[in-house]
Structure 1
Amino acid sequence: MKKYIPLALLIVIIFISSSQSYEQQSIVPTLQKLLPNQPLFDFLSLFHIPYWGIDVSIQERGYYYFLEFLIRKAAHMLSFGAIAIALYIALYPRKRRYLYALVITFALACADELHQSFTIGRTATMSDVWLDTVGGLICLTLFTVILRLFKKKKTKEKQFE
């Protein structure tokens, strides 16, 4: 039962986060204080990201809003990556737990977007569902590769004992 606690905590954090409006979550004022010289402005100006029918870029949104967009989307990916890993661990020793973890991560991303659709000032998009799922896929794949490397190393060390 203990193996479900990290998963439950992550789901609660996502639920609370999805319950907040954009204004409550905005980090633009913090970014303005922390990065008054707008580091990497020229580099970031090269990027134009199509999202929900608009062009998200420094030219269209401004430096701080663009940077916030990147941070928020990275946070989405990492959050659902952590959920996928927590699911993978919780599903042990079930066969095909990698696949199950990804499918459940997708379902939770759908549920999160549905929940967001009821929050004032938030939008629900299938793009975010896919972003969350890709975050789960990337993080879970990295986790399982690293896990296998450690197991191989441990096996080799036992051979030489």
Structure 2
Amino acid sequence: MKKILLYWLPVFLWMGIIFYASSQPYEKQDLRPTLSANLDLTIIETLFSSVELHYAGDEISVEALGAAHFLEFFIRKAAHFITYFVLGFLMYRALKHYLLNNRSTWLIAWFMTILYAISDEIHQGFTPNRSPHIEDVMIDATGGLIGILLASIIYRKIRTKKI
């Protein structure tokens, strides 16, 4: 029971935080007013005026979105990556105590992380003013994979030191 709490409780708490964040309508998470009030956005306009990319069918540029929304886009995508980096790390950590094969551990951890990312995007589809994007799942999957690989390296080093 102690092992379950030690290794799985962080996973489920983190999943709960993700679920809660996905339950919030966009208006409650809108960073644009805070960014506009606290940053000199002319720097963003100057540095990134020539940057234009397309994401989920939308143009992402300072010209199309404005500086605050452009910056918020990258903050939100970084949050996706970091959130699932942590989930992947925690998932690997929990599974490592049940599976002896390192490859199985990281494959199952990554699969479970991706499944949760997919379910999170579906959940966002039912949240007011939020929309699911397969591109977000890809960012989440990449963050999860990097977190899992880091955990794998750390556990390998710990295991080597014990020997």
Calculate the TM-score normalised by the size of structure 2: 0.86
Kept in 1, the 8 Å contact 2:89–2:150? The answer is no
1:122 corresponds in structure 2 to 130
1:55 corresponds in structure 2 to 59
1:147, 1:65 → 2: CA distance?
Answer: 40
Output the aligned Cα RMSD: 1.8
Q: Which moved more, 1:133-142 or 1:64-73?
A: 133-142
2:143 corresponds in structure 1 to 135
Q: SS at the partner of 1:137?
A: helix
1:37, 1:50 → 2: CA distance?
Answer: 21
**How many positions carry a matched residue from both structures?**
155
**C-alpha distance 132-25 of structure 1, shift in aligned 2 (>3 A):** same
- 1:15 aligns with one of 16, 19, 42: 19
**Superposition deviation, residue 146 in structure 1:** 4.2
Of all paired residues, the percent bearing the same amino acid is 35
2:27, 2:148 → 1: CA distance?
Answer: 31
2:106 corresponds in structure 1 to 98
**C-alpha distance 25-37 of structure 1, shift in aligned 2 (>3 A):** closer
Query: What do the CA deviations read for 1:46-79 (whole angstroms, capped 9, x no partner)?
Result: 4322111111111110111011010001001110
1:75 corresponds in structure 2 to 79
Q: SS at the partner of 2:60?
A: strand
Q: SS at the partner of 1:120?
A: coil
Letter in 1 for 2:112: I
Letter in 1 for 2:139: L
Letter in 1 for 2:124: Q
Calculate the TM-score normalised by the size of structure 1: 0.87
**Superposition deviation, residue 138 in structure 1:** 1.9
Q: Where does structure 1 lack aligned partners over 5 or more consecutive residues?
A: none
Runs of 4+ deviating beyond 4 Å: 149-152
**Superposition deviation, residue 135 in structure 1:** 1.1
Q: Where does structure 2 lack aligned partners over 5 or more consecutive residues?
A: none
Q: Which moved more, 1:57-66 or 1:32-41?
A: 32-41
Q: Which moved more, 1:87-96 or 1:11-20?
A: 87-96
